[in-house]
Amino acid sequence: MSLHLGDQAPNFKAVTTAGEIDFHEWLGNSWGVLFSHPADYTPVCTTELGKTALLAEEFAKRNVKVLAVSVDGIAQHNGWIKDINETQHTTVNFPIIADENRVVAGLYDMIHPNASATFTVRSLFVIGPDKLVKLMITYPASTGRNFTEVLRVIDSLQLTAQYSVATPADWKHGEDVIVVPAVSTEDAIKKFPKGVKVVKPYLRYTPQPDAK
Ligand code: BEZ
């Protein structure tokens, strides 16, 4: 069964480099990023996990817990982590699931048989504190993900969960946002005291409500 935005993120128990976890319990009230990798000791994955570790403070600032998935075992993961730390000048500080039986890969549809029968593709899920799926992105094995983009989307998800706004193309934290169509301009003026700029009746901007 494939997952869709807004679905409950499937729960699972898994062995990880930080011990056994129950996914939903482990998430607690945090946001989560669950992301898969084709295999251990592969070059692009090494840079991705290194980059994620380097961004630890950025994820923590946003109350996001990160959990990686790879279909190799714990001994291999632990050896690979040493290489990641050495080559990417960081310390991997998030768990990696040893998904040897491909349980998590199956639940999250991370194996795309026409890409590879055995390896997971680069899937990434953002899960909200309500345990619902907020974002799904899938990259092929040959293309490393952009983790600055992942943080940017998390900023948008967290903002739009709180206010009746949406974020325009290429938006970054601190820039103007769009008033959602469901809010009339009259109500928008009351809701957004920083001001509403009406470009078209359906295209209305307001400064980011929670930006200083
Ligand atoms: C990598 O992570 O470097 C990789 C994995 C599978 C195919 C190509 C690249």
Q: What is the predicted pLDDT for the residue at 132?
A: 98
Q: 39: number of CA atoms within 13 Å, CB side?
A: 7
- How far are the Cα atoms of 18, 55, 81, 96, 165 from residue 89, in angstroms, in the given order? 20, 12, 11, 18, 38
Q: What is the pTM (predicted TM-score) of this model?
A: 0.96
Q: Which atom of ligand 1 is nearest to the CA of 44?
A: 3
- How far are the Cα atoms of 29, 31, 54, 64 from residue 60, in angstroms, in the given order? 13, 10, 12, 6
Q: What is the predicted pLDDT for the residue at 118?
A: 86
Q: What is the predicted pLDDT for the residue at 212?
A: 78
CATH of 163-206 among 3.30.160.270, 3.30.2420.10, 3.30.1020.10, 3.30.930.10: 3.30.1020.10
- How far are the Cα atoms of 93, 101, 142, 177, 209 from residue 97, in angstroms, in the given order? 13, 11, 21, 37, 38
Q: What is the predicted pLDDT for the residue at 135?
A: 98
Domain 13-145 has CATH 3.40.30.10: yes
Q: Give the start-to-end residue ranges of the domains of the chain.
A: 13-145, 163-206
Q: Which atom of ligand 1 is nearest to the CA of 119?
A: 6
Q: What is the predicted pLDDT for the residue at 174?
A: 96
The Cα–Cα gap between 154 and 177 comes to 15
- Kindly list the catalytic residues: 45
Which residues lie with the beta carbon below 6 Å from any ligand 1 atom?
38, 42-45, 141-142
Question: What are the per-10-residue average pLDDT scores of the chain (212 residues)?
Answer: 92 98 98 96 97 98 98 97 98 98 96 91 97 97 96 98 98 98 97 98 97 84
